[in-house]
Chain A
Amino acid sequence: MAVIDASSAQLESAVVAAGAKPRGRWRAWMRTWIPAGTVIFILAICFLGPTVLPIPGATGGDVLESGQGPFSPGHLLGTDSNGNDVLSRLLSGGQASLLIGISVNVIGIVIGGTIGAVSAYVGGLFDTIVMRLLDVLIAFPSLVLTLAVAQSLGPSKRNTIFALAFFSVPAVARIARSSTLRLREMPFMQAAQLCGSPTWRILLRHVAPNVAPQLISFAALGMGIVIVTEGALSFLGLGIPAPAPSWGNMIFDGQQSMSATPLEVVWPSIALLVTVLAFNQLGENLRARWSGR
């Protein structure tokens, strides 16, 4: 088993070496660190900014200061229609949106990935039953669950994450399952089985690291969608309850008067775009590194 791992590592380094021309080394470094740096920067400014920077609170602004333009005194990006500082809302809203985006994806990858991988690895009747259940969940319209959660549990960060994760789990599970099925055929897996490694160990040591890259790049692609969807949920009574900001609810509120106040949509959209770009590039890099291609 160790032999096989070593050989696959050799193979990996061989591939990497083959791809790395002298000029490309610096470029590769840039490619890794620009997105990683951006992600770190976004996380830092959103989670530390509101406490460290000298800006007003995200809520509780004076309504008489409403609707000020960018670069007005004390408000770098102006104020919204309730008189709250837009920059401050952007940063605090980023906290909520990143928390939702990341936790929904982590829940999806951990739970969905486990279900998919175990189902494929165990196979047989268990696999069939799990697959049919996933089919049902995938076909089940999100709107209905959202409504039920909104009306019986009420809007909150936790309930929103729950509702959104409910729909990412089956999708991730399917992808994880198909990747695992492919892996099962590979020689090193068969060797591991022959060596008598326990199932959990095989899943953890061999399946997980091979399946994860694909799941991560899928999740990175879906990150923006999750963050935007959270805002639209307020339409159905779920999402981050006002007046607390999130990029999603800032965009959703802003679009209701977009012809008059386009900047209310523009700022959070730009923040979201930068975040999505950075996370995707990071996801691609991780995938490239882990899959050894």
Chain B
Amino acid sequence: MRRIANVNRRARLLGPVAGLLAVALAATACGSSSNTNSNNGEAGVNVGKPQAGGSLTVLEDSGFAGGFASGLDPATNTTGGANLPQMQSIFGGLFLLEADDNGENAKIVPNQAENYSFSDGGKTMTIKLRPGIKFSDGTPMDAKTVVWNMLRDSKSPCSCAPTWQLAKKDPIVAKDNLTVVIHMAQPNGALISNFPISNINWIASKTAFEKMGAAKFKVAPVGAGPFTVVSDQLSSELVLKKNPNYFKSGQPYLDNLTFKSIGGDQPAYQALEAGQADAYEGMSTVPLINQAQKNSKFTITLGPPTSPYVVQLNTMKAPFNNIKAREAIYYATDFSAISKGLFKEDLPVSGSFAGPGGLFYHKSVPGYRNYDLAKAKQLVKELGGLTINLGTTNIYTANQVMTALQTQWEKAGIKVKTNSLQLTGVIQAFTGGNWQAMLQTAGAWDPAAGVGVAFRFASTSPFTGVKDPKLDNLFAQAGATTDSTKRDELYQQAAKYISDKAYAPFGFAFSPANVAAKGVHGPGLTTPIPALAVNTQVLWDEVWREQ
């Protein structure tokens, strides 16, 4: 009897280990054949009517969305662009990016705003607020409060302050109780696309701010969003509960929403498997995404990609002040092989800063220098050899792409030293001008918004490797018009110009995945919405779980 019990116990203990080995063998045996096209989210699947109630725990990577060390006050949150989940839950937003259930037809829609219009040749924007919205402290969200918020954001000594160029006189005024008028020095075509990832989108209660003071408000801010703060430990855990005064009736569906920061994709994946959390945003480790897609416990949603990889070349310094060196890099680079090898997927490589999920995307750039090893070798020979430093941000996927690029370039006879840097190191390399090649991402849903194309290519940006007045002029023109056909034309010209001058080769766009437990549904979480900059914005007020 005892012996049998012992054997059983041993079998139970060894089970997981055996399971691990089996998984290991399975993973390695069919690793190369596991081809997963696009997403296996719920696009087009009828999931039934939303049910109210329940709690959700959502994990966020402490290196990105889960890092909110500077607090959640819109005017001082330096990482607001990463903290979309927290900010949207507490503040909602004047405008949101929404899409069809299959991720197509993405557009900016008014949320707490009722509508907007441009006048004066695009120099004046008028925002009409939805009537009757109240902050969770009961005070009304009126035009005066919005003006106070926007002025405060603009004046904040924060890297998050909006970069719009306001008119000197009366830049932002409240025309009546519900109408806000913004006067700009020049037309800004991307202003509306910029809203959902900018701190001016999140309106805070002035009364609460004045009562609490800046330091306390950062930790427990008061907005008019779907949830209110229960407790907040910066960069660690944010506990929220339903806002009973939320302006959309019947929403949010969830009673409680908790965001927890965790150190990386692997621990997050295990926590989801163990049932300790219901969702994880922004998984970027490709093998884990593939693994999760095979797991019947989860729904994986890959947002339509908007920001392609780019190898920025520092054209202000040797060796890339010489076009031959830049051409050599173009010809030596084979992004489609990297896509097939690392991502097990043939992601489209367009040669420009627009991704398939974003605006102004075109399949190719005419005259783009595609992979041609013989030409690359020839150029390197003509140059008498080429030795370069390639850097990137220290992220799992970026490191892998960097290593693959290094291998490809070395085949063309280029000597490559790689360097994987912390974010602060990347910033220092750019500001010091002490870099040669940098693997980054460029572009956004709208090329002019967020970490857009100008961020990587305009003379005025500290993160550029190019100072070219012609390119600046194209960006300025594209930014200054609100006519989208015109903008499309100008961005095509810019893409062609960058390609002709061999300023920077572009790769495929890749968007991180959102992982949710079965039974959890919501736009952005289980249906795709294009990523505005880096991460998809989940519409938390519409997220629900089966009871």
Task: Give yes or no for direct A-B contact (beta carbon below 8 Å).
Answer: yes
A44 within 8 A of B: no
Stretch in A105-113, A133-141, A203-211, A237-245 touching the partner: A237-245
8 further A-B pairs in the complex, CB-CB below 8 A; given A83-B407, A260-B285: A62-B341, A63-B342, A63-B404, A66-B32, A241-B418, A241-B419, A242-B402, A256-B285
Using known A-B contacts A70-B28, A237-B422, A262-B20, determine if residue A256 contacts B341 with beta carbons closer than 8 Å. Answer: no
**Complex contact B28–A261 (CB within 8 A):** yes
Nearest 8 A/B pairs, CB to CB: A63-B341, A69-B28, A260-B287, A260-B291, A67-B31, A257-B287, A262-B24, A66-B341
Alpha-carbon distance A241/B420, docked complex (angstroms) = 8
**Complex contact B24–A67 (CB within 8 A):** no
The bracket for how many chain A residues form the interface is 20 to 34
Residue among B27, B270, B420, B425 with max Cβ neighbours from chain A (10 Å): B27
A49 within 8 A of B: no
Interface residue tally for chain B (C-beta within 8 Å): 46
Alpha-carbon distance A268/B30, docked complex (angstroms) = 22
**Complex contact A242–B420 (CB within 8 A):** yes
A275 vs chain B, min Cβ distance (A): 22
- Chain B, 252-276, contact with A by CB distance < 8 Å: what is the 0/1 string? 0000000000001110011001000
B189 vs chain A, min Cβ distance (A): 39
Q: Which of B1-60 contact A (CB under 8 A)?
A: 20-21, 23-25, 27-29, 31-32
- Chain A, 63-88, contact with B by CB distance < 8 Å: what is the 0/1 string? 11111111000000010011100000
Across the interface, name the chain B residue whose C-beta is closest to A64: B341
What are some 15 contacts across the A-B interface (CB < 8 A)?
A63-B408, A64-B341, A67-B287, A68-B28, A83-B407, A237-B425, A242-B403, A242-B418, A243-B418, A256-B266, A256-B396, A261-B287, A262-B21, A262-B27, A263-B28
A60 within 8 A of B: yes
Chain A residues with CB under 8 Å of B20's CB are: 262
Chain A residues with CB under 8 Å of B482's CB are: none
Residue among B341, B344, B399, B411 with max Cβ neighbours from chain A (10 Å): B341
Residue among B291, B344, B407 with max Cβ neighbours from chain A (10 Å): B407
Chain B residues with CB under 8 Å of A266's CB are: 24
B325 within 8 A of A: no
- The listed residue (A69, A81, A258, A263) touching B266 by CB distance below 8 A is A258
- The listed residue (A70, A243, A259) touching B288 by CB distance below 8 A is A259
- Chain A, 230-273, contact with B by CB distance < 8 Å: what is the 0/1 string? 00000001000111000000000101111111110010000000
**Complex contact B425–A151 (CB within 8 A):** yes
**Complex contact A257–B399 (CB within 8 A):** no
A222 within 8 A of B: no
Alpha-carbon distance A237/B392, docked complex (angstroms) = 12
